[in-house]
Chains A and B, each alone.
Chain A
Amino acid sequence: MSGAEREREVRRLRRERPRRRFARFSGWALASLAVYCWLAGDFRLDLLDERRLANLRRFLGELVPYPLREGFDLRVAWEWTVGLLSQRGLEAAITTLAIAVAAICLAGLVASGLSLAAARNLTTPEAFLQDPVPPPRWVRGAGLGVVYATRALLVLLRSIPEYIWAFLLISVIGPSAWPAVLALAIHNAGILGKLGGEVVENLETRPLSALRALGATRSQIVVTAIFPMALSRFLLFFFYRWETCVREATVLGMLGIVSLGYWIQDARARTQYDTMIFLVALGVALVLVGDLLSAVARRVVRDA
C-alpha cells in the first residue's frame, strides 16, 4: 500500500467511525454551558480580599476549642469532647441515624409498589407473553397510561429536593422527626421507584413468560419470580440511597428538627465555631459508619 493510499484509508476509517450525534452535541453543549455559567454568574474572586482574610483568620482562631486556647492539655481536651458528646452530640447522631433508617424503610416500601407499576413489561395487558387474541386498543392504552402516570409521579417525587419537602412539611405536621423522615422518604421513593422499575424491565423474560404461559396471574408472577429475581439489585440501590439519607438527615436538622444539623446551626448562631466544627466532624464519622455498614450489607447481598 502506498503512502497516499494509506493516508486515504485512514481518512476513510476516520470518516466512517461510529459517531453518536446526540452524545457529541451534549458534550459540547455542556462544555459551553460551563463557560457561560462562569461568565454570566456573579462569581468574583472576592474570597481573598483584606476584610475576608481578617474574617478567615478570626474564624480559624475560634476553631480551637475554647478551654484549649490558653494552651493544650490532654485532660481538658478529653473533658471538652466527652462533655459535648454526652450533652447532645451522641444523642443527636443516633437520632440522625434513626431518621435515615426510618426514611429509607418507608421509601423502600413505597418504591417497591411503584416500581412494579412503572415497569412497562409488567403493567402492559400482555405481560411477558402475547395473547392469542390481542386485547383491544383501549386496554393497551390504559396499561401504557398507568406506566406513564406512575413515571410522572416518580419524577415529581424526586425532582423536589428533600430540603424543600421538609421545609413545606414542617408547617403542616409541626416540629417532630416526621417532616424529615417523610421528606427523605418521598424523595428517595421517587429515585428507588425509577431504578426499581428499570430493574424489573431488564429482568430475564423467559422464566416470566413460562410462568404466564402456565396460567400464572400477575401477582403470582410478582411473588414467585420477580421478587426473588429483582431483590438483590433492588437492595443494592436501597443501601446506596441509605448512605445519602444519612448525609441528608444531618442537614435537615438545620430546619429545626433535632438531628445533628440542628445543633450545628445552633452553634453557628451562637458563633461557637469550635463546637460547630466538632459536630460537623461527628457528622463525618456518622457518614463513614453508614458507608461501612452499607458496604458490608451490599457485600452480603451480592454474595447471596
Chain B
Amino acid sequence: MIGARSWVIAAIAAAGLWAGWHADLDPRALVPSAGGLQVAREFFARALSPALTYESTTAVPGASPLLVKALGAAHQTLLFAGAAVSLALAIGLPLGFLSSTVWWEGDPAGGEGRLTRVLRRTLAPLVYAFARTLATVMRSVHELLWAVIFLAAFGMSHLAAVVAIAVPFGGTFAKVFSELLDEAPRDTAAALRAAGASPLQVVVFGVLPRAQSDMTAYAFYRFECALRSSAVLGFFGYPTLGYYLAASFENLHYGEVWTYLYVLLLLIAAADWWSGTFRRSFAA
C-alpha cells in the first residue's frame, strides 16, 4: 500500500525532472566559461576584504566616503520599506477585515432587525467576495511588476515605488489577516454580544484582540520582506542599496559590491532577529 505522501513525493520528483528537461538545465552548462571563471575568481577574492574606500582611480571630488554612501543607501532602503509597509497595513487591515467572515457570518454583532438580516444575506457575501478577489489580484502581481507598470504610467516617482510595494503587500496582508481573524476563537465576541455590546465594541474588544499578536508578528515578518524588495527596487533606478550594488558590479568594483552586500545583510539580519525575538516573546 503506497500512501498519499509517497505519491506526492513521486509527483515532486517527476515534476523536478520535467522542469530540468524543459528549462534545458544541462549540468555541464554550470561550468563557467573562462570569462565567467575570471569574474567569479575576482569577485569571491574580495569576499573577505570589502572596500572601505572607493575603488575608482578617478575619484569624484566632493563625493562622500564610501561607507557614508553605503549607510545612506541603507537608510533609503529602510525609508522605502517602512513607508511601504505602513501603507500596506493601511490597505490590508480594512481589506482583510472585509475578506474575513467575522463581520457578517454567524450573526457576529447580533443585529436583530429585519433589514440587517436581509443585508447580511445578500450584500455581505458580495462585499466579502469582492474584497477577496481584489486582494488576490493585488498580490498576484509581483511588486517589481507593479513598479514597472507605475514607471510606464507615471514616470519616475518615489511615491510610485512605495505604492508598488504596498499594493501586493496590502493584498498579502488582507489574505493572511482574514485567515487569522477567521481562525481566532470567537468566545470573547460571543460573551460581549451576550452582554449587549454594540457591533463596534464586539469587533474592537472581542474579535481583534484574539488575533492581534499573530497579526503583529506577521507584519514584522513582512517588514523584513519589504526591506529586500526595497533594496531590489534600486535596480530600477531608485536610490536604495540595489542601485549602488548594480553600479559597482558593472564597473567591476567587486570590493564595493561586497560592502553593499554586507550592509544589506546586516540590515536584514537585524530585522530578522527583531521579528524572531518578537514572535518568541509571544510564544513563551
Given contacts A159-B265, A235-B5, A301-B4, contact A38 B83 (CB under 8 A): yes
B-chain residues with CB within 8 Å of residue A163 when the two chains form the complex: 144, 232, 235, 242
B106 an interface residue at 8 Å Cβ cutoff?
no
B66 an interface residue at 8 Å Cβ cutoff?
no
> Which interface residue of A43, A47, A271 has the most chain B CB atoms within 10 A?
A43
B-chain residues with CB within 8 Å of residue A271 when the two chains form the complex: 152
Measured CA separation A171–B249 after assembly (Å): 10
Measured CA separation A303–B136 after assembly (Å): 26
Q: Kindly provide the distance from the CB of B247 to the nearest chain A CB, expressed in whole angstroms.
A: 12
In contact, A176 and B158 (Cβ under 8 angstroms): no
11 contacts between A and B (CB under 8 A): A27-B216, A94-B22, A99-B19, A102-B19, A102-B23, A172-B40, A176-B29, A268-B148, A300-B8, A301-B8, A304-B4
Given contacts A168-B43, A232-B5, contact A159 B24 (CB under 8 A): no
In contact, A37 and B145 (Cβ under 8 angstroms): no
Within 8 A of B (CB), among A246-270: 247-248, 250-251, 254, 261, 264-265, 268
Q: Which residues of A are at the interface with B, using a C-beta cutoff of 8 A?
A: 20, 22-23, 26-27, 30, 33-34, 36-38, 40-47, 51-52, 55-56, 59-60, 94-95, 97-102, 105, 108, 155-156, 159-161, 163-164, 167-168, 171-174, 176-178, 181, 231-232, 235, 238, 247-248, 250-251, 254, 261, 264-265, 268, 271, 273, 276-277, 280, 283-284, 287-288, 297, 300-301, 303-304
Surface stretch bound by A, among B57-65, B109-117, B276-284: B276-284
B228 an interface residue at 8 Å Cβ cutoff?
yes
Surface stretch bound by A, among B10-18, B92-100, B178-186, B191-199: B10-18
Given contacts A40-B79, A264-B145, contact A164 B245 (CB under 8 A): yes
In contact, A167 and B249 (Cβ under 8 angstroms): yes
In contact, A38 and B86 (Cβ under 8 angstroms): yes
> Which interface residue of B144, B213, B220, B269 has the most chain A CB atoms within 10 A?
B144
In contact, B152 and A173 (Cβ under 8 angstroms): no
The 9 closest A-B pairs by CB, nearest first: A37-B82, A105-B16, A34-B86, A101-B19, A304-B4, A41-B79, A102-B19, A177-B23, A98-B19
In contact, B159 and A251 (Cβ under 8 angstroms): no
Given contacts A102-B23, A102-B25, contact A168 B83 (CB under 8 A): no
A-chain residues with CB within 8 Å of residue B82 when the two chains form the complex: 33-34, 36-38
In contact, A99 and B23 (Cβ under 8 angstroms): yes
In contact, B278 and A23 (Cβ under 8 angstroms): yes
In contact, B229 and A161 (Cβ under 8 angstroms): yes
In contact, B25 and A303 (Cβ under 8 angstroms): no
B160 an interface residue at 8 Å Cβ cutoff?
yes
Given contacts A167-B235, A168-B249, A173-B32, contact A231 B83 (CB under 8 A): no
B31 closest partner in A (C-beta) = A173
Contact of B83 among A43, A99, A160, A273 (CB under 8 A): A43
Q: Kindly provide the distance from the CB of B52 to the nearest chain A CB, expressed in whole angstroms.
A: 21
B134 an interface residue at 8 Å Cβ cutoff?
no
B279 closest partner in A (C-beta) = A23
Within 8 A of A (CB), among B21-75: 22-26, 29-30, 32-33, 36-37, 39-40, 43
Contact of A247 among B80, B142, B245, B261 (CB under 8 A): B142
Contact of B220 among A26, A174, A181 (CB under 8 A): A26
